[in-house]
Chains A and B, each alone.
Chain A
Amino acid sequence: MILHTLGVPVPGATDPMAKFKLKVNGSTYDIEAEPEMPLLWVLRDTLGLRGTKYGCGIAQCGACTVHINGEPVQSCVVPISGVSGQVKTIEGLAQGPNLHPLQAAWIDHDVPQCGYCQAGQIMSAAALLAKNPDPSDSDIDRALAGNYCRCGTYIRIRAAVHTAATYYNAALDTTSEPEAQV
């Protein structure tokens, strides 16, 4: 896991509010925040992107998983000052009017129960599929090891990732723009 801790302030240092440019889901935002404010809370409370969830605050549950430059990170432990590059959240996963293959597969397999962890599960799975379009069970288990589901939907999560891979590859076959999937 890449934490992007570059730029984290020295403990004990008092930091005034600082200005940041944050690129999220293709838009750029000017943010004024404490440098150590985690990306999670900037997304939720400042930008109103509340699909990313708070679960534990110590990178143990994965409910807050987003992508930074395509890598899955647990946004509850990434300070805003340490974010460089493109952030993608669950709200930005679908391409235009069409669901991402994972979102479609999640509905087709009726995966969610309470649903609270599912944005994080899907974001971890999306990062996996972007690199590995035909993952095995153990590939999936490794990629989703940091995502906890209290309702125990793991069986359907695994099945849905496999189904999404078939949707994903079918989409790859019909498009000439490999950039368009993630």
Chain B
Amino acid sequence: MSINLNTMNRRSFLKVSALASGGMMLELSLPASVLADELGTLVGSRDLNAYVKIASDGTITIYSANPEMGQGVKTALPMIIAEEMGANWEDVVVLQSPVNQERFGRQGAGGSTTVPRSFDLMRRMGASAREMLIGAASDSLEVPRDELTARNSRIIHISGQALTFGQLAALAVRQPIPDPATLEFKDPDDYTIIGTSVSGVDNLVMVTGKASYGIDTVVQDMLFAAYHKCPAVGGIPVSFNEAEIKRLPGIKDAFIVKGNEVVTQLTSGIAIVGTNTWAVFNAKEKLKVSWDESSASEDSWTAMQETGLALKDRTGEETVLAKGDVTAEFSNEANKTIEAYYTYPFVAHLCMEPMNCTAHYIKGEGNDADAIEAWVPTQGPQRIAPVMNAMFGVHEDNVTVHQTRLGGGFGRRGSTEFVCEAVAISKQVGGPVKLTWTRTDDIYHDFFRVAGFQKLKAAVDKNGKLAAWDQHFIGMTRQGRPLSGSRFSDTEFPLLNINHVRGTKTMIDIGTPCGPWRAPGANTHAFVVQSFIDELAHAAGRDHLEFLLEIMGDRRWFDPGNVRSLNTGRAIDVIRRVADASGWGKSMPGGSGLGLAFHFSHAAHVAEVAEVSVDNNKNLKVHKVTVAVDVGPIINMSGATTQVQGSVIDGLSTMAGQKITMENGRIEQSNLHEYPVMRIAQTPEVEVHFIQSDNPPTGIGEPALPPLAPAVGNAIFAATGVRVRSMPLTDEGYTLV
């Protein structure tokens, strides 16, 4: 196996310095490849940097620059460096780096982009360190370089003589920095770390309760805060029972915060400050607020559904793609025409750790300027300083952000409103505060996965071949602006694969904030398209697998070299692999069935087969989900496997029972008792197959989620003959058991 390099700019800059203790420090930076994505474009795509320290005792310290929210980058990226160095993984210590654009370049997480952005850089870093250590050993042992190899944290001569990295570190500092053009990377066949299963570097602190998440931050003289916003977004507090609240136990202060009413920044609300979290949560329950709701959201899920129904049979207002002649195909009497209407609701992120931020607004004394220090569980640490500057007038250089571990992200933690709230409260009280949202705040004020409706119409010809495809996407905008996950592009599968095709869209404007939610757009498009293809296969009297492969057509890459473009060859390979592994076509007992789905997103080709049974009371058991994934070579087999399994479980949990609804602008689900989440007993077996193709490695935090819903829906059809065209399944009468 060989690995193609990303088409990156090869300019790189390496600095080396000696440590006082006799070790060496390497710093490397080079421009990142630009991969546009939801969060990445917000964070900006600047230089990537890496830092490695080799101490004289042999300890190798690697700094992890990106936020860790459970996706495993804090383990995977250092594995790449250690591999190229020839290090022993046991000698590696991984530390979270501070937030510093100048030193660490882009620091952010989202869009499954961290691994693709960083793979080449990490290898370069490791190979540079290795070459300098080899140079140092060559000088000390007075032997030619080509008689030396790096292995087990040692440089070993063919004679068997060896020096440890620790022994060589001080000498390696004086070696010339290798020319990047001359660096050679390890042959993947010789890998001893990449592709193996490595347990996460923070597991020990997590299982002993010592990991520090944002919510665990404690700073000296800190007070605790809660913040109460109008349940209808845009409502502004006029007055509240201030005297009563201030008399409650543990309460130090309560006041109205005036904001700019930008939902990602500062929405007006009531701050309650006290001596512990419970005191402020308890007081929040007792608030009586008079709201000015003249500008508040009046969204109604019922009304949105009615709008969808009214629009569905029209052609969309805007044409996304039109080629061939769909009208002629639909009126051709030899063809069979099939129509279906699919819907999907809003859903919440429900990160286990609710939104929170600890902040200290420090008033400058004398001539000193004001400063802000904040401890934030965030997916976009570098977005904070510019927002602080805009909101509070504090110079970006005087904003210090500490990135903590994240108790889940899923796209939720890219916004900055919880930071603005904490800073505004700190500024008012004149000291540090920890703001914690209640679970209810976290649901009411989420940036939801956007809902939507899609009308599809297709024709199959007399040979059972897909002849025409007409798709009307009814999506949503907020205040006229596009929403993450509510996009319909001209490359959406299968538009490029069909000759007679029309894609149109109509957008409904809403007031409810929405944002990226694990695999934005893909998580709903896959459900609609892959379910409808199964409908067509049945209408044509064809096997779904064979029908899907026929649509895929010849092996080709629609935009060669662009990993974000569908490669039908890779698609065919994962579809065939999942069919083989799941026993596609085997006879199934009554009331049970297999369902297949494929989806391409986040540069990943993923196919899944679900095996389900449904009883007469619509109790649904998902017995097994088989997954075939091509994201190129796998860095950490354990991390990648658990990401795929977690994505499948997340997809199933969401599909089974989750929906957020609203009436009169108010979210109707307040906590977990009204928003069911999947439990351990409902968990299917999830069998994961990786096709480690000859492509650059890409991220795996998201793309295994989208195919799950259509695979389960198609399996329900196979088991019962009833089609699932709406999520969640509880609305269709099913209970996941």
Contact = CB atoms under 8 A, between A and B. Distances in A.
B405 interface: yes
B679 A152 contact: no
A61 to B, nearest CB: 6
B350 interface: yes
Contact of B352 (A48, A53, A58, A107): A53
Given A45-B278, A57-B439, A114-B352, A154 B207 contact: no
Interface string B195-213: 0011110111011111111
Contacts of A158: 680, 683
A147 B407 contact: no
A97 B672 CA distance: 37
A51 interface: yes
Nearest to B679: A145
Interface in B668-686: 671-673, 677-681, 683, 685-686
Interface residues of B, number: 67
Interface stretch (B95-103, B390-398, B535-543, B645-653): B645-653
B482 interface: no
B353 A116 contact: yes
B672 A148 contact: yes
Contacts of A141: 679-681
B287 interface: no
B680 A140 contact: yes
A53 B648 contact: no
A38 B352 contact: no
- Residue among B213, B279, B408, B686 with the highest chain A CB neighbour number at 10 A: B408
Contact of A54 (B69, B215, B410, B645): B215
Contact of A90 (B208, B277, B646): B208
B218 A58 contact: no
A175 B177 CA distance: 57
Contact of B680 (A56, A89, A154): A154
A107 B211 CA distance: 14
Contact of B202 (A115, A119, A142): A115
Given A61-B352, A144-B680, A113 B208 contact: no
A44 B646 CA distance: 29
B469 interface: no
Contacts of B649: 152, 154-155
B216 interface: yes
A52 B209 contact: yes
B70 interface: yes
A90 B277 CA distance: 20
Contacts of A149: 352, 680
Contacts of B197: 110
Contact of A107 (B204, B350, B408): B204
Given A34-B249, A41-B278, A51-B208, A113 B671 contact: no
B218 A48 contact: yes
Contact of A63 (B352, B409, B438): B352
Nearest to A15: B249
Given A114-B353, A156-B642, A60 B208 contact: no
A147 B647 CA distance: 18
A156 B649 CA distance: 12
Nearest to A37: B278
Contacts of B353: 53, 55, 114, 116
Contacts of A99: 207-208
Contact of A45 (B211, B277, B681): B277
B453 interface: no
- Residue among A40, A138, A151 with the highest chain B CB neighbour number at 10 A: A151
A176 to B, nearest CB: 27
A153 interface: yes
A111 B646 CA distance: 11
A56 B672 contact: yes
Contacts of A103: 207-208
A168 B475 CA distance: 54
A151 B646 contact: yes
Contact of A58 (B72, B204, B671, B681): B671
A17 interface: yes
Interface string A15-59: 001000000000000000010111011001110111111111110
22 contacts: A40-B278, A51-B210, A53-B215, A57-B438, A61-B352, A61-B672, A110-B642, A111-B207, A112-B70, A113-B70, A114-B69, A114-B70, A115-B211, A119-B207, A119-B209, A141-B679, A142-B681, A148-B677, A149-B680, A150-B351, A150-B408, A151-B70
The 9 closest A-B pairs by CB, nearest first: A51-B209, A152-B649, A114-B70, A116-B407, A90-B209, A113-B70, A115-B206, A60-B672, A152-B646
Interface of A: 17, 34, 36-38, 40-41, 44-46, 48-58, 60-61, 63, 89-91, 93-94, 99, 102-103, 106-108, 110-119, 122, 138, 140-142, 144-145, 147-158
Given A36-B282, A90-B207, A113-B72, 5 more contacts: A51-B209, A114-B353, A116-B408, A152-B645, A154-B683
Interface of B: 69-72, 197-200, 202-204, 206-213, 215-216, 218, 224, 249-250, 276-279, 281-282, 350-354, 405-410, 436, 438-439, 638-639, 642-643, 645-650, 653, 671-673, 677-681, 683, 685-686
